[in-house]
Amino acid sequence: MTLVAPAAQASDVEDARAEVQELGREVEVAAEAYNEARVQTEAQKQHVAAAQARVASQATAVEAMQDELGALAVETYKRGGVDPQLVALVGSVGSYATSTSTLTVMAERRSVSLSDLKEATDDLEALQAAAAVELEQVAAMEADLAGQKTAIEARLAGAEDVLAAAEAEAARIEAARVAAAEEATRSRQAAEAAQALAAGPAVAGTAVAAGSTAAAGTRAAAPAGAPAGAPAAGQAPAASAGTMSCGGVSVDVPTDRVATVLAFACSQLGKPYVWGASGPNAYDCSGFTMASWAKAGVSLPHSSRSQAGVGTRVSEGDLRAGDLVFSFSPISHVGIYLGGGKMIAAPSAGDVVKIQSLQYLPYTAGTRL
């Protein structure tokens, strides 16, 4: 059996893990750009809908005016097309001329109103066309970002496969090493027992007992599993101002509202990062902050970049628990500050909701809601 040196195998695993982390960060950047495009698209759709409503309203007004002018045109035609015998019915020629003049003025006034309405309709249709173009542009950008997402996720899946294979190989090699060591121990113990047997029954008994003790010690040295991690989902801290614990971090909570936010946020520790998710079983970074602050009645857009425009800006030195903390330029990551240079966030693809240190993140902005 050929065994790879533990150091070399560990290097392969670490390289694969680093690649997964790097691609996970790329996925988060693409995800937040996608979220921002989606926010812009929804706003643009509302703009287009409002423009279309105005166009419809003006079209109804134009149609009503056209009906009125049509009736006026028929009446004018009838009056202008009468034979001389009908003049008597109107009265004198003068009165008829006055009547015709009046109709002409009415028609001109109606024509001006129609012109105004037509101009307004044209303006609205131009606005609608422009908005539609903008909507198409945003949709194209969204489609492009979705394509980037697919490509990056494919790379991420490949990297995760490499990591899984490297870890499996490392585990296989470690198991083979342990098995070889145990086999060597058994062979040595058998040889010692044979020698002791040749020396006499009393010595043999001692050797066998010693071998059993050593074997038991070897078995006891086997790994017993990972230590306890984050608290189970649903075990939220008490929602009141004061001091609370979040994943083992002591937090000074300034208000009951922030306590409500953190009670929910901390109960989500360990849930996976998923592109575009906002709960309840998975989150991306802005989906996590959006869901957490929704518990306190605050509506945030599903985009870290857009969230940075909500609330009051605070400096890094003035941060307190509950504040939103934004990283990178352009902004592509957000978390909820806990205090002591730590925040809780859904970091990136391949990761879970966890507590992060600001020491390893560039501080771009902070806001208080």
* Residue where the block lists tokens 């990062």: 273
81-128 tens-digit pLDDT: 444 443 343 344 444 444 555 545 555 555 545 576 677 778 778 877
Percent of the chain with pLDDT over 90: 33
Q: Are 262 and 244 in contact (CB under 8 A)?
A: yes
DSSP 333: E
The per-residue b/e assignment along 67-100, b for 16 or more CB within 10 angstroms, e otherwise, is eebeeeeeebeeeeeeeeeeeeebeeeeebeeee
Instruction: Provide the terminal-to-terminal Cα distance of the chain, rounded to the nearest Å.
Output: 62
Query: Mean pLDDT, to the nearest integer, of 234-243?
Result: 63
- The pLDDT value given to residue 14: 76
By DSSP bridging, strand 342-345 and strand 333-339 are: antiparallel
DSSP 283: B
Structure tokens given for 200: 């006499």
Phi-psi region of 219 (alpha: psi -120 to 50; beta: other; left: phi over 0): alpha
Three-class secondary structure of residue 278 per DSSP: strand
CA-based angle 158:162:166, to the nearest 5?
170
- The pLDDT value given to residue 317: 95
Q: Are 268 and 289 in contact (CB under 8 A)?
A: no
| One-letter identity of residue 165 | A
- d(CA 26, CA 295) in angstroms, rounded, equals 29
- d(CA 184, CA 181) in angstroms, rounded, equals 5
Asked whether residue 208 carries a pLDDT value surpassing 80, the answer given is no
- d(CA 356, CA 331) in angstroms, rounded, equals 17
- The pLDDT value given to residue 233: 46
- d(CA 279, CA 90) in angstroms, rounded, equals 80
Selected residue with higher pLDDT from 71 and 276 = 276
Selected residue with higher pLDDT from 87 and 176 = 176
DSSP 1: -
